[in-house]
Structure 1
Amino acid sequence: MKPSRYTFLVVPDHDGKSRRFSLSRNSTLFIIIFTIFMLIGISISYMYLIPLSLDYTRMESRYNDVIGERVEVLELYRDLERMKQMEIVVQKALGMDLGESDSSEAGLTEMMNDYPIKLSYLNNVPSLLPLDGVLTQDMVVSNEEEIREHYGVDIAAPIGEPVMASASGQVVFSGWTTELGNLVIIYHGNEYFTYYGHNELILVKVYDKVKRGDVISTSGNSGISSGPHLHFEIWKDGEPVDPLLYFPELNKTDISVK
């Protein structure tokens, strides 16, 4: 015959009065079943929360990386604003009319005739291929979310090859980024920028002035990269420009261009 009640005795470790209480069989079964379900619920919660905690840790790490890059970009823009002001002062000192387009043929001819020193300005437009190699990826710009944009070209080359400045200018960024690894950005004036990514070594620092053809880094495989290559971008007026427009000879390479 099953007992109808269960008696429990609580005895303290130290001297003290023992306590006795009894519960009905149904109450005892309810407490046992409730405790089992509580333990199962806690176990399931931990199994669910642990992956969430890991995801949170990864997201927090990515957030810190993004914030760090944003701070670097803000510092870059502050430097660029100062450089723009300096450029305006130099243009005024040389007598250039800031209201006219420097790209017009008549304006350029007059500029060269009146101010021979300004011929060096032609070196500030990207005109030198920064690395001898094979084109493996061209520029991809799309409004479709499922298509990953690629703002420049990839030029495959062995690790350690010299990377040259495509035009004269001033280094405005020299350091690490999550995606492009060791990255160099050069400002060339007239709203021209060039990006050199995935380098193994960086040989210049911020504020350095470089001339067209100067070695600024060595090719590598840093950052998010599938193999040794140089990622090269050209920006004009805040927009990416296809480097193949400046270097059409890259189209002649016999390679599977995606």
Structure 2
Amino acid sequence: MSALYPGDVDRLRRMSVIEEGDCKSINMANLCVIGSHAVNGVARIHSEIIKASVFKDFYELEPEKFQNKTNGITPRRWLLLCNPGLADVIVERIGEDFITDLRKLKKLLDFVEDEAFIRDVAKVKQENKLKFSAYLEEQYKVKINPSSLFDVHVKRIHEYKRQLLNCLHVIALYNRIRRDPTKSFVPRTVMIGGKAAPGYHMAKMIIKLITSIGDIVNNDPYVGDRLRVIFLENYRVSLAEKGKRTRLNLFHRW
């Protein structure tokens, strides 16, 4: 790098594997880029950010190394295994080719106005919501309205991922119901899931806030089944598989 960019000390510092300071350390991100044959983001916007700012120096050095891999789903797990009812409805309309080539799902665009298809998808969705409601009631001892809107927020618990903002929204909804209990409200079940880093105190306080809000909302007779709040404990793939069955937007990015 010294030969390519003579005198550019700042660039050398940004690209170095060694972080200088009172206690030297390894810059793991730089080491990963240097040691990898390819680097990618998981969405086009993410990939562009990597090239434009996060690893700009490395991109200028080896632009061919940087790629994009937009996240999708593995149909065998997240559709066939998790949601066999929906898979059957799709197979009836377009066959099984989509299992090995997800681009074939575009054939479903021919059915967006098909009332029978829409009805079949809605039926599968409601059946899945009934099953998941029973699971939540068993695990959390909270009666869930399976006809409610399932409002799901699953991400690592972090201040910038807006779980706190979601909590404020739930509090606002709760206050509206308390203010006018006779008013018509769309029933909503708010589910928040994710894990916090061991030393991230604020994230753990956000989890505590979610559970505290749930204790109040779920036990308020004035609210009834119009609002429920569940913190999905120990969020993991097996639980994600159960929850995925209730979210049937075919082109939703997991």
Q: TM-score range by the shorter chain?
A: under 0.3
- What TM-score, normalized to structure 2? 0.23
The structure where helix makes up a greater share of residues is 2
Larger Rg over CA atoms: 1
Q: Which has the higher strand share?
A: 1
